[in-house]
Amino acid sequence: MSKRRKTIRPRTKAAVRITLPLTVVLAVVGVWSVSLGAQPVPPKDDAYGLMRATQQTFHDVSDAIRPYLVRIDTVGGSQPRALRTPAGDENTPDPPRRSQSPFQDTTGSNFVLADGPATGIAYSLDGYIITSSFNFVREPVLISVTLPDGRRLAADLVARDQVRKIAILKVEATDLTLPSWLDVTDVRVGQWAIALGLGFGGETPSVTVGVVSALDRMQTGAIQTDAKLSPANYGGPLCDIHGHIIGICVPMAQRPGELAGIEMYDSGVGFALPKHRVDEIVAVLKTGRSFYRGWLGIVIDPTIRDAVAIRNVAIPSPVHEAGIKPGDRILQANGKPLRHFGDLVRVLYMLPAGEEIVLQVESGGSEFHTVVTLARNTELGPLPDLEEPFDPSNPLPAPEDK
């Protein structure tokens, strides 16, 4: 009786393609079944490892910057008034609206300031500390600074810049530890940005993280970041991942006022002043001179569109001294054409009193250039009375007799 021979056929390519993936899957499942209940440790080069390394970098930056941070505490002071009377007396009745001066510095916001510590950065070995003027809007009676080594010293507010929001303090110390600043030419859009502050109290700085989102902003060379900035870190540093300071965090906005910009806190739009701008400002502040908002001393005629037409001029004022008078038009400011009042605001909003500005003016059919120095509001005189276009007591003329 003959036996049947079993024929073994070779595998097809399709069978091989199916078998190999199944073998790999079974092998992986087998490995998982052996280690069931034990969490595998991911390799250092995977996404988890990168997140751990990035997190450690933020910790390292906080530790590296802490020796340069000081905590600022203030005692006394009151909530700023949104609008001060010219005499500064709360009991002074408001003058009639038509005689009110439009040249008044306001805080720029109705933000209610809370009690609590603020942040500063050691600036020089001889006891100068920089912070934000935001921290002194309440005009505190006493200021103290706690150094990283635990010493608590009385501090004097030397001067402040209410436009660029910088302030400088002085303590009796000669051994402050100074940080390393990153040159603005080395800052790149998209790089990591880490904001630190001591505004929540305690010894460990608060940390918010983002990127540098723009450069040369707010007409001051400011660095813009989407790292969340708030009163907790105003006056504190914005740093790179190597622990170098990119800039000092301050509130900024196109509106004037020492609190202008505070409403944008934690919005993802924050600003920091780089070292070269801080140095320029501090060089003046160390002399005891403060910066205030700059004014031209003019009132614009709102009835004339597509032009910056002057309706009235304060006497004295920078423009009056330059020979500019009502009816003239400002065509350019610092070389920038002015189509309407908003263009003029964009040129002036970050310029303090004492800054010079070049104006191109049209007067009586001719044009001329002049340089004026912006004044503080307290240096401006009253506005002259203008002739009324009609008698308010008799707006309609009497009919003519025939």
Please tell me the predicted confidence (pLDDT) of residue 92.
Answer: 47
Determine, yes or no, domain membership for 92.
Answer: no
**In terms of domains, do 342 and 314 share one?**
yes
Q: Is position 43 within any domain?
A: no
Q: What's 214-250 look like in SS3?
A: EEEECCCCEEEECCCCCCCCCCCEEECCCCCEEEEEE
Q: Is residue 136 part of a domain?
A: yes
DSSP state of 125: T
Extract the tokens encoding 54: 């990035």
Contacts of 19 (CB under 8 A, 6+ apart): 11
Query: Token digits for 108?
Result: 């720029």
Instruction: Name the residue with tokens 């423009």.
Output: 319
What integer pLDDT is reported at residue 30 of this predicted model?
A: 42
Residue 10 lies in a domain: no
Q: Are residues 273 and 350 in the same domain?
A: no
Does residue 75 share a domain with residue 181? yes
Q: How many domains does the chain have?
A: 2
In a domain, 306, yes or no: yes
Question: How many angstroms from the chain centroid is the CA of residue 297?
Answer: 26
State the DSSP string of 370-382. EEEE-B-GGG--P
Q: What is the pLDDT of residue 253?
A: 87
Is the whole model's pTM more than 0.95, yes or no? no
Looking at the domain assignment, is residue 52 inside a domain?
Answer: no
CB count within 10 Å of CB 316 equals 14
The answer on 209 and 72 residing in a single domain is yes
The predicted pLDDT at position 42 comes to 55
DSSP 245-280: EEEEEE---SS-STTTTGGGTTTT-EEEE-HHHHHH
Statement to judge: residues 187 and 323 lie in one domain: no
The answer to whether 341 and 300 are in contact (CB under 8 A) is yes
Q: Of the candidates 285, 306, 332, which is a domain's last residue?
A: 285
> Given phi > 0 = left and psi -120 to 50 = alpha, else beta, which region is 385?
beta
| Confidence (pLDDT) at 397 | 61
- 172 and 311: one domain? no
152 and 197 both lie in a single domain: yes
Is residue 126 located within the same domain as residue 173? yes
Answer yes or no: do 173 and 132 share one domain. Answer: yes
Q: Give the residues across from 97 on adjacent strands.
A: none
Instruction: Establish if 395 belongs to a structural domain.
Output: no
Q: 179: buried, middle or exposed (CB in 10 Å: 19+, 13-18, 0-12)?
A: middle
Q: What is the CATH number of the domain that holds 189?
A: 2.40.10.120
Task: Flag whether 119 is in a domain.
Answer: yes
For residue 360 the two structure tokens come to 């191109």
CA distance 59 to 327: 61
CATH of the domain at 375: 2.30.42.10
Provide the token pair at 226. Answer: 């989407």
| Same domain? 327 vs 257 | no
Tell me which residue range forms the domain holding 176. 62-84+101-285
- pLDDT tens for the chain, 402 residues long, are 444 444 444 444 444 444 444 443 334 334 333 333 455 555 556 888 889 999 999 999 999 999 999 999 999 877 776 544 444 444 444 444 444 578 888 787 778 777 789 999 999 999 999 999 999 988 899 999 999 999 999 999 999 999 999 999 999 999 999 999 999 999 999 999 999 999 998 899 999 999 999 999 999 999 999 999 999 999 999 999 999 999 999 999 888 788 888 888 889 999 999 999 999 999 999 999 999 999 999 999 988 988 999 999 999 999 999 999 999 999 999 999 999 999 999 999 899 999 999 999 999 999 999 999 999 999 999 999 887 665 666 666 666 654
Let me know whether 68 and 193 are in one domain. Answer: yes
The model's pLDDT over 272-312, given as tens digits with 9 standing for 90+, comes to: 999 999 999 999 999 999 999 999 999 999 889 889 999 99
Q: Is 331 exposed, middle or buried (0-12, 13-18, 19+ CB in 10 A)?
A: middle
Q: d(Cα 258, Cα 219) in Å, to the nearest integer?
A: 17
